[in-house]
């Protein structure tokens, strides 16, 4: 997926779960029985808790290897001063089902001297050991005589580093901070010690650091990083502000991640576009644009709009940064060209856009190099080029239209993109109608009026282009002496095209969003509020902020936002169209008003996280659950997303 367009159906469904939420859920399901025998004495309780916590979190992203009888491994903290950790299979230890379980051991010395209570460093060490197990470096045959101090080969060491770091970032740990573990080995004069013991051909830590920092591996890590995937989730939900935060975090961890820079720019540009109204579009004098594309791997509303123009500059800066890192990035060029078409001066910068679209056209000719760009995105990029530039250009007009048509036909063959393809056609028709209307020819203007009428019927009324189109339509009707349909007749209220709600903004302009790191967010709301354990075994906590009527629930990241009481911020609802006005659902609203916005297609649920007896009406498409009081007004709203059952990609 890559095109988020002005159509209601451009949103791909179902949404993929961002890793953070998936991890929280896996924890909730709690199907894995964790065993942890921790030795007594000098290992502190904090250290033991941290080992348990980090191991459990890593295990949620590690696929169970086939070669062992039982999984997960048993893990132990050994209360000895050695700088040691290893993975093995111990034939002497069988569990109650007589199964042989792999084993991970970590020594107090390593916790004291290398980890130093840093979870990301610990994640590096434990993930390295887990990788030895999942990569098949430890077999059941090893250790017949008891625990064998592992003697891994040089290649196995490097592989465990490489694979382990993927687990680290996928579980949401920081790559930069995790790298502190190997760095600490170098700095603490243990640069030739592998933590599994000294082997003759072990790679040195300096060598291992170099490998982990290589461009090739970094590329794998940023794609696996949970913040990247969370950002993609927010882009798909069109929560552009939350997406901006996620991709900013990726660029801080991986400054060379050109894909994150493109997506960051896209999130910024879309916030800018969202803030444009009909007057802005009229002044730009441009037809309907289809918004660009973002990078997806493995497969919002901006509270009070601050300085809109600076968003545009931020976006352009991000695209340029991406192009500095890699100068043939198709999406970066197409999105940057789109930015020049909606220039904040109110006049499209056609020169820049033309230069970039020429590059886009050239890159698209190389089918092989652009194989990951789907036909719908290709059609959308060219449609913007045609709307912004080529429809006026005799030499390009027909040729580009033919290309767009070719990609649209391919997009229409896929069920997921068929509706979105229709919205690209609508955008083309709108521009065609504008051109026809401008001609002096009576028949052309009649045709323009018909095209506009179709456009108005097919386009959500909340699109900023809708009212522009209606004015032109009414104008033409007057000129031609034909009857025009009233705006109300053409307006079609829709209840199924809201964006998924992923955040709320408090009165102090703090954006509270799902999948954000819960402790950081809690501190920004009120650092004196401590989290209370919700369910011991799920590792969930809740942070209650009575002053702003907001409760956060989550493990490491926020998985639900509960709003109640008079100070709770309203939930902003936005349709999927760009520039669409927002509506809100707030505490105290009568049921009739809520249903006028959202309809009555809710599923009833009595599985409130906090109180199992409470019943909510859950609007899955919108991601909010509403509870009414005795007087039928809203008393509680929960913002959360649920995995969709069945169906689709």
Closest to Zn ion by CB, 157 vs 359, is 157
Q: DSSP characters for 182-219?
A: HHHHHHTT-TT--TT---TTPPPHHHHHHHHHSHHHHH
Min dist. Cβ of residue 156 to Zn ion (A): 7
Closest to Zn ion by CB, 194 vs 241, is 194
Closest to Zn ion by CB, 156 vs 403, is 156
- For the sheet with 532-535, list strands across it: 532-535, 540-545, 550-554, 558-564, 634-639, 624-628, 616-619, 603-605
CA distance 551 to 544: 4
Q: How far is CA 551 from CA 500, 521, 588, 617, in A?
A: 19, 11, 18, 19
Which residue in the set 160, 381, 518, 634 belongs to the binding site for Zn ion (CB under 5 A)? Answer: 160
CA distance 71 to 102: 7
Stretches 68-76, 158-166, 182-190, 237-245: which one binds Zn ion (CB under 5 A)?
A: 158-166
Closest to Zn ion by CB, 196 vs 314, is 196
Min dist. Cβ of residue 349 to Zn ion (A): 54
Min dist. Cβ of residue 271 to Zn ion (A): 45
Does the protein bind Zn ion through residue 383 (CB under 5 A)? Answer: no
Query: Within a 10 A sphere around the Cβ of 507, how many other Cβ atoms?
Result: 12
Closest to Zn ion by CB, 104 vs 476, is 104
Min dist. Cβ of residue 104 to Zn ion (A): 11
How close are the terminal C-alpha atoms of the chain, in Å? 11
Closest to Zn ion by CB, 157 vs 412, is 157
Contact yes or no for 434/476 (Cβ under 8 A): no
Min dist. Cβ of residue 109 to Zn ion (A): 16
Instruction: Please work out, in degrees rounded to the nearest 5, the angle formed at the alpha carbon of residue 45 by the alpha carbons of 40 and 47.
Output: 105
Q: DSSP characters for 550-608?
A: EEEEESSBEEEEEEESTTPPPEEEEBSSTTPPEEEE-TT-BHHHHHHHHTT--EEE---
Q: Please tell me whether residue 624 adopts helix, strand or coil conformation.
A: strand
Min dist. Cβ of residue 84 to Zn ion (A): 11
Closest to Zn ion by CB, 163 vs 436, is 163
H helices present in 292-374, as ranges:
308-325, 330-341, 350-364
Contact yes or no for 253/224 (Cβ under 8 A): no
Does the protein bind Zn ion through residue 448 (CB under 5 A)? Answer: no
Burial grade of 121 (CB within 10 A; 0-12, 13-18, 19 or more):
buried
Closest to Zn ion by CB, 157 vs 621, is 157
Q: How many residues bind Zn ion (CB under 5 A)?
A: 3
Does the protein bind Zn ion through residue 126 (CB under 5 A)? Answer: no
Stretches 72-80, 140-148, 156-164, 560-568: which one binds Zn ion (CB under 5 A)?
A: 156-164
Closest to Zn ion by CB, 149 vs 496, is 149
Contact yes or no for 238/7 (Cβ under 8 A): no
Q: Mask of contacts with Zn ion, 171-210, x by CB under 5 A?
A: -------------------------x--------------
Does the protein bind Zn ion through residue 163 (CB under 5 A)? Answer: no
Min dist. Cβ of residue 308 to Zn ion (A): 52
Q: Mask of contacts with Zn ion, 322-361, x by CB under 5 A?
A: ----------------------------------------
Does the protein bind Zn ion through residue 424 (CB under 5 A)? Answer: no
Min dist. Cβ of residue 202 to Zn ion (A): 9
Min dist. Cβ of residue 164 to Zn ion (A): 8
Query: Within a 10 A sphere around the Cβ of 613, how many other Cβ atoms?
Result: 6
Binding site for Zn ion (CB under 5 A): 157, 160, 196
């Amino acid at each position: 997926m890559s095109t988020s367009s002005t159509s209601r159906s451009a949103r791909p469904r179902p949404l993929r779960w961002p890793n953070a939420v998936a991890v929280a859920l896996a924890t909730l399901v709690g199907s894995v029985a964790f065993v942890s025998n921790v030795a007594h004495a000098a290992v502190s309780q904090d250290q033991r808790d941290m080992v348990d916590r980090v191991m459990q979190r890593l295990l949620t992203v590690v696929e169970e290897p086939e070669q062992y009888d039982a999984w997960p491994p048993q893990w132990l903290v050994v209360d000895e001063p050695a700088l040691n950790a290893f993975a093995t299979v111990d034939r002497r230890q069988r569990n109650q089902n007589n199964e042989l379980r792999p084993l991970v051991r970590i020594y107090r010395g390593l916790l004291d001297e290398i980890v130093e209570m840093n979870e990301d460093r610990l994640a590096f060490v434990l993930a390295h050991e887990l990788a030895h197990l999942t990569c098949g470096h430890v077999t059941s045959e090893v250790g017949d005589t008891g625990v064998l101090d592992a003697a891994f080969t040089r290649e196995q060491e490097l592989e465990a580093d490489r694979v382990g770091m993927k687990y680290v970032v996928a579980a949401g740990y920081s790559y930069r901070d995790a790298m502190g573990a190997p760095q600490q080995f170098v700095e603490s004069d243990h640069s030739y010690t592998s933590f599994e013991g000294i082997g003759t051909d072990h790679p040195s830590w300096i060598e291992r650091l170099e490998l982990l920092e290589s461009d090739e591996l970094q590329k794998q890590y940023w794609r696996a990083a949970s913040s990247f995937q969370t950002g993609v989730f927010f882009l798909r939900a069109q929560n552009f502000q939350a997406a901006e935060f996620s991709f900013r975090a990726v660029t801080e961890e991986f400054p060379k991640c050109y894909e994150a820079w493109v997506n960051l720019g896209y999130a910024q540009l879309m916030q800018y576009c969202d803030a444009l109204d009909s007057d802005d579009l009229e002044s730009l004098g441009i037809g309907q644009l289809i918004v660009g594309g973002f990078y997806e791997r493995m497969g919002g509303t901006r509270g009070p709009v601050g300085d809109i123009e600076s968003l545009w500059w931020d976006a352009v800066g991000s695209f340029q940064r991406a192009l500095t890192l890699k100068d043939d990035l198709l999406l970066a060029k197409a999105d940057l060209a789109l930015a020049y078409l909606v220039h904040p001066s109110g006049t499209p910068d056609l020169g820049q856009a033309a230069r970039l679209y020429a590059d886009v056209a050239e890159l698209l000719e190389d089918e092989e190099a652009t194989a990951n760009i789907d036909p719908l995105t290709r059609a959308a990029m060219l449609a913007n080029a045609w709307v912004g530039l080529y429809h006026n250009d005799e030499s390009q007009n027909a040729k580009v239209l033919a290309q767009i048509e070719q990609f649209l036909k391919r997009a229409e063959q896929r069920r997921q993109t068929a509706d979105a393809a229709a919205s690209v056609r609508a955008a083309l028709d709108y521009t065609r109608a504008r051109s026809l209307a401008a001609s002096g020819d009576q028949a052309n203007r009649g045709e323009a009026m018909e095209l506009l009428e179709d456009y108005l019927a097919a386009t959500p009324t909340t699109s900023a282009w809708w009212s522009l189109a209606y004015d032109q339509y009414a104008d033409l009707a007057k000129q031609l002496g034909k009857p025009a349909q009233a705006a109300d007749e053409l307006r079609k209220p829709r209840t199924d095209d809201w964006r998924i709600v992923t955040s709320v903004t408090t009165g102090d302009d703090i954006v509270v969003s799902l999948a954000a790191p819960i402790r950081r967010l809690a501190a920004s709301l009120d650092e004196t509020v401590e989290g209370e354990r919700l369910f011991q075994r799920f590792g969930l906590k809740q942070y209650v902020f009575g002053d702003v009527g907001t409760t956060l629930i989550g493990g490491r990241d926020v998985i639900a936002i509960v709003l109640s009481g008079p100070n709770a911020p309203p939930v902003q609802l936005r349709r999927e169209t760009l520039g669409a006005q927002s509506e809100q659902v707030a505490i105290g609203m009568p049921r009739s008003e809520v249903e006028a916005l959202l309809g009555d297609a809710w599923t009833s649920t009595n599985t409130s996280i906090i109180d199992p007896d409470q019943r909510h009406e859950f609007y899955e498409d919108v991601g909010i659950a509403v509870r009414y009081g005795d007087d039928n007004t809203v008393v509680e709203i929960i913002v959360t997303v649920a995995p969709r059952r069945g169906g689709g990609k």
